[in-house]
């Protein structure tokens, strides 16, 4: 079989250029390429030669150690190398690091060596015995070294960049921790919904939490209309003309604000910011509604734009997508309760009875119920 050496050289050049740009940017050197050159580079990378692997990872880096700058030479790992790693050994390494206090220790000694006493004080550990249990595991795995008996602990130089690379990989998976929490919420639905009846839990409990959020907007002076739409597929929509949930990145989470609101169970810890069902131990928030729904869609009208995001079993299907322009503001949430948990449907008569109570409490809020 003949080889296309020109294509292979182009591929190698593109890889080296990408690594060079990565290194230059990490060192604070301006290395932005002209737009045309960047487009050509992408075109080459997107059209690999037939001999190239199915996938590969390229990485490089550096860190400062005192007055020295230690570089990590550009490296490449083929998918066959990564998928061929021993599962048991990989699991053992992840297990050694899979403890919050061990990660706390590694991060604390990253910038400076620390003694056991200093670590106990900084990490607020109750006893030195608790600390030394983790130190023994980390030193035994060569992830920590001790200067001398009784001396300070530090991360070996040859382990620092692999730890950084692992943290970089975790940053791309960090949102899965939210979905783990949502799964646990489904498994422990009784904590949020109280006692279960013969026909499952009451789906109206989820509805009243979504309605409560619109009422909070009204109390803040931003919402005058609230509509509840009952659909034939057993879903329900709650729409208001409030400010609309922000869609920009939330500094605290690094996610779009609406996604954090919909997926982080611990975002609002105050009891006043949740709906407490009779007999429940935990309050229902919008994130809990999302967790206990088969599907959920949120549409936001804010800052002249309309954004939409869809969820399935609490997990976002995409980023918030801009789907139009508008001069209106507000939020619309449509959700279908999880049928395994909620075996009854929304009852219009029951909803209208509660709406009449709400109208008396909030006479300036126009509330309407529609059945399609």
Q: Where are the domains of the chain?
A: 5-83, 87-173, 177-371
Q: What is the pLDDT along the chain (372 residues), one digit of tens a residue?
A: 555 555 556 665 666 666 665 555 555 544 444 434 434 434 444 555 555 557 888 888 887 777 778 888 888 888 888 888 899 988 888 887 888 899 999 999 998 899 998 999 999 887 778 888 899 889 988 999 998 877 899 999 888 888 888 888 888 888 888 899 999 999 999 999 998 888 899 999 999 999 999 999 999 999 999 999 999 999 999 999 999 999 999 888 889 999 999 999 988 766 666 889 999 999 999 999 999 999 999 999 999 999 999 999 999 999 999 999 999 999 999 999 999 999 999 999 999 999 999 999 999 999 999 997
Please report the pLDDT score of residue 132 as a whole number. 86
Q: 167-197: b or e for each residue (b if 16 or more CB lie within 10 Å)? A: eeeeeeeebeebeebbeebbeebbebbbeee
Structure tokens at 311: 């969820």
Cα 258 from Cα 121, distance rounded (Å): 37
Q: What share of the chain is helix, strand, coil (3-state, %, to 5)?
A: 40, 25, 35
Within 275-329, strands assigned E span 293-302, 305-312, 315-316, 321-325
Please report the pLDDT score of residue 5 as a whole number. 56
Please report the pLDDT score of residue 153 as a whole number. 94
- Fold held by 177-371: Heat Shock Protein 90 (3.30.565)
Please report the pLDDT score of residue 55 as a whole number. 85
Please report the pLDDT score of residue 34 as a whole number. 42
Global pTM exceeds 0.75: no
Q: Is 243 in contact with 153 (CB distance < 8 Å)?
A: no
DSSP 305: E
- In 3D space, the residue among 257, 256, 225 whose CA is nearest the CA of residue 332 turns out to be 225
CATH class of the 87-173 domain in this structure: mainly alpha
Cα 192 from Cα 125, distance rounded (Å): 32
Please report the pLDDT score of residue 4 as a whole number. 59
Structure tokens at 189: 């639905």
């Amino acid at each position: 079989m003949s080889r296309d050496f020109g294509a292979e050289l182009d591929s190698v050049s593109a890889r080296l250029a990408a690594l060079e740009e990565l290194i230059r940017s990490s060192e604070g050197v301006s290395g932005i390429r002209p737009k045309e050159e960047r487009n050509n580079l992408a075109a080459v990378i997107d059209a690999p030669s037939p001999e190239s692997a199915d996938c590969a990872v390229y990485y490089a880096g550096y860190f400062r150690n005192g007055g020295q700058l230690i570089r990590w030479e550009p490296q490449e790992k083929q998918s066959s190398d990564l998928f061929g790693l021993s599962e048991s050994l990989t699991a053992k390494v992840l297990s050694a690091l899979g403890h919050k206090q061990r990660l706390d220790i590694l991060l604390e000694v990253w910038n400076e060596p620390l003694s056991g006493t200093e670590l106990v004080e900084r990490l607020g550990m109750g006893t030195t015995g608790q600390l030394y249990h983790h130190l023994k595991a980390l030193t035994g795995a060569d992830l920590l070294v001790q200067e001398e008996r009784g001396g300070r602990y530090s991360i070996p130089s040859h382990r620092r960049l692999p730890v950084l690379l692992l943290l970089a990989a975790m940053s791309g998976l960090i949102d899965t921790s939210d979905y783990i929490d949502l799964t646990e919420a489904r498994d422990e639905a009784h904590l949020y919904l109280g006692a279960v009846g013969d026909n499952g839990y009451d789906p109206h409990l989820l509805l009243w939490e979504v309605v409560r959020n619109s009422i909070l907007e009204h109390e803040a002076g931003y919402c005058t209309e609230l509509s509840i739409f009952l659909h034939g597929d057993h879903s329900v929509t709650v729409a208001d003309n409030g400010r609309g949930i922000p869609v920009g990145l939330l500094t605290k989470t690094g996610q779009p604000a609406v996604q954090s609101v919909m997926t982080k169970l611990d975002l609002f810890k105050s009891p006043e910011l949740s709906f407490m069902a009779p007999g429940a131990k935990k309050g229902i928030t919008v994130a809990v509604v999302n967790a206990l729904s088969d599907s959920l869609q949120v549409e936001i009208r804010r800052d002249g734009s309309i954004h939409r995001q869809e969820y399935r079993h609490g997990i976002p299907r995409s980023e918030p997508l801009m789907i139009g322009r508008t001069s209106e503001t507000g939020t619309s949430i449509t959700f279908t309760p999880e049928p395994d948990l909620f075996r009854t449907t929304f009852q219009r008569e029951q909803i209208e009875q509660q709406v009449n109570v709400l109208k008396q409490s909030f006479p300036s809020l126009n509330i309407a119920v529609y059945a399609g």
